[in-house]
Structure 1
Amino acid sequence: MKVGFIGLGNVGGKLAGSLIRNKIDVQVHDLNADFVSAKVAQGAKDGKSPAQMMQSCDAVITCLPTPDASAAVLEQMLPHVAPGKIWMEMSTTDAGEVKRLAELVAAQGGAAVDCPVSGGCHRADTGNISIYAGCDRATFERVLPILTCMGRRILHVGEVGNSSILKVMTNYLATANLLTLCEALTVMKAAGMDLGMTYEAIAMSSGNSFVHETESQLILSGSRDVNFTMDLVQKDIGLFQKLADTFDVPLEISPLMIEMMSDGQRRYGARAQSDRMIERLEEATGLSLLAPGFPRELVDDEPEEPGYEVVPNR
């Protein structure tokens, strides 16, 4: 298949790199010409525009920062959607919006796949990230070879929109974990615990998590750069709150998280790195949450392996 990839930012650039590394015929596009040039140097082709890419590719992937950006790009591609063409949405977006756009694609005879990723930029870089795919089974079978080049674990979740619902849930949980880790580490520092020892105590305990094994290291090293900014966190947890509101689920923790992140944005900037939330507690206590021996950048040390479909127990 000829594949187009639109959106070469922190995550998209790495996903596109995995396609190139796996010798897929890839065209790329981004508003940042330097990002395009870098991928062309790696072996991709310049797709020129979304419209041209939909004309010349079998499947076009979008990985963009907001639902509005995805809608604007799809509007350019839509006149060129035809039977056999596939639009693959890898952005974290609103389930209702991706369903709306998928219906427009279907009306033109094409197919849509809602396929966001989860697992961090460092795993996107090595093809070891996880991917949810929402679409009919026949379309899933067509795109599975593409998805397994970008991700390790691929889960078919049913219809379009389901992936977006699951993705905003996972990002909500990750944000909650980040905020509680900030509090836990600060309390341990205040209690006189060695932070390197504290890290290991959490890692070997029932309190361990993916977020601890990754973001706690960046907090303690002082890097606080997880390649995920506060505005993106706010978008995702806001989408989760919107979902809860739609189904009349009264949440207590979610509104507090949104307010905490808003405070972080007021202090450090709307696009500050999300791990800088630790600095709110450093400022409040006068403590320094730093420890030697932790990396300033996350590197996935798992060897790249062919991706595979995860089949849930039923």
Structure 2
Amino acid sequence: MSVRVAVVGTGRMGAAMAGRLRAQGVPVTVFNRTAERAAAVAARTGADLAPSARAAATAAEVVLVSLADDAAVEAAYTGDDGLVAGLRAGTVVADTSTVDPRTALRLGDLVRDAGGAHLDAPVSGSVPVVERGELTVLAGGDAADLDRARPVLDRLAARVVHVGPAGAGATIKLAVNGIVHALNQALSEALVLAEASGVDRATAYDVFAASVVGGPFVQYKRAAFVDPENASAAFTLDLVGKDLDLLLALAGRGGVPVRQAEVNRAAVAAASAAGFGDRDMSAVAAHLRQLRS
């Protein structure tokens, strides 16, 4: 594969994407605002290291963006050292970040004005899923632009879904995450309820996993729920709160009542205020245990 890729943002998901692509022999350049993090990824994977998002984009035909929130995404795109300033004509920017659809539309316009193409292409899946190349990509934008990015995305994903025009990818990702965060809340409550009634935690979880509700989320979160003291933060509660804020804002603009999301947001806010914000999302269960003690 001769397409050169830039990865802007080397947090957990971005680092995993860079590693997966390098393992497939794809030439990759990485940039991260915290330079040490990108340097570590470059050293581990053999990727090239760029001093700025602009420099990373200049070296690439496909730019993957993986950042935590709207502010970080905006900073990576704009300014003299932003990726938009470094785009070559025809470069495709596939943004895998979870952001407000309005942010995706605004930044997509900047990319197109600079001669590039833009996809809001958030992903469904965790770091191990990236490493296996089994993500689901939810792409909004022009179908022809998606086709040009597919040789890269297909190395990361088992399924690439073109969900509609620009903004549709960002929108459907918020809808998906609303379900994920509802599952997280329901699973936390059910597990702590079973424990409080005398059922062994691991046994209760085994029952959930073997039942009709035992879908992929329940399966891959088992270790985090059963052994929370040794769980790494795959996705923090503070980021859950960010997602739910974006979902609630989107629902407000559309006049859609989302009562469960409102309740879930309040529960996450309470857990974060109690000191669990930087813990894995499964720490909702730990907060519930704290409340009953």
- The answer to whether TM tops 0.5 is yes
**Is 244-253 or 82-91 further displaced after alignment?**
82-91
Q: Residue deviations 1:31-57, cap 9 Å, x none?
A: 233322233222211122111222221
Structure-1 residue corresponding to 2:142: 136
Query: Aligned-pair distance for 1:236?
Result: 0.7
More helix by share: 2
**What SS does the corresponding residue of 2:164 show, helix, strand or coil?**
coil
Q: In the alignment, does 2:162 pair up with 1:153?
A: no
For residues 214-229 of structure 1, what are the structure 2 equivalents within 5 Å?
Answer: 214-222=220-228, 223-229=230-236
**What SS does the corresponding residue of 1:24 show, helix, strand or coil?**
coil
CA distance in 2, matches of 1:280, 1:39: 34
Q: In the alignment, does 2:252 pair up with 1:252?
A: no
CA distance in 1, matches of 2:164, 2:126: 24
The counterpart of 2:100, out of the listed 63, 74, 94, is 94
What is the one-letter code of the residue matched to 1:61? Answer: L
Pair 166,85 (structure 1): closer, same or farther in 2 beyond 3 Å: same
For residues 281-292 of structure 1, what are the structure 2 equivalents within 5 Å?
Answer: 281-286=288-293
In the alignment, is the contact (CA less than 8 A) between 2:53 and 2:83 conserved in 1?
yes
**Is 210-219 or 64-73 further displaced after alignment?**
210-219
Structure-2 residue corresponding to 1:162: 168
Structure-2 residue corresponding to 1:267: 274
Structure-2 residue corresponding to 1:50: 53
The counterpart of 1:68, out of the listed 68, 71, 77, is 71
Query: Aligned-pair distance for 1:61?
Result: 1.6
Q: Residue deviations 1:42-77, cap 9 Å, x none?
A: 221112211122222112221111111111111122
CA distance in 2, matches of 1:48, 1:27: 10
For residues 1-314 of structure 1, what are the structure 2 equivalents within 5 Å?
Answer: 1-41=3-43, 42-75=45-78, 76-222=82-228, 223-286=230-293
CA distance in 2, matches of 1:156, 1:253: 28
Same amino acid, percent of matched pairs: 26
RMSD (Å) for aligned C-alpha atoms: 1.6
**Is 54-63 or 135-144 further displaced after alignment?**
54-63
Query: Aligned-pair distance for 1:129?
Result: 1.9
CA distance in 1, matches of 2:288, 2:52: 45
Q: Which has the higher contact order (CA 8 A, sep 6+)?
A: 1
State the number of aligned residues.
286
TM-score, with length taken from structure 1? 0.86
CA distance in 2, matches of 1:50, 1:278: 38
After the TM superposition, list the runs of 4 or more consecutive aligned residues in structure 1 that deviate by more than 4 angstroms: none
CA distance in 2, matches of 1:171, 1:259: 16
Structure-2 residue corresponding to 1:295: none
CA distance in 2, matches of 1:183, 1:270: 18
In the alignment, is the contact (CA less than 8 A) between 1:225 and 1:275 conserved in 2?
no
**What SS does the corresponding residue of 1:152 show, helix, strand or coil?**
strand
What is the one-letter code of the residue matched to 1:230? Answer: L
In the alignment, is the contact (CA less than 8 A) between 1:178 and 1:215 conserved in 2?
no
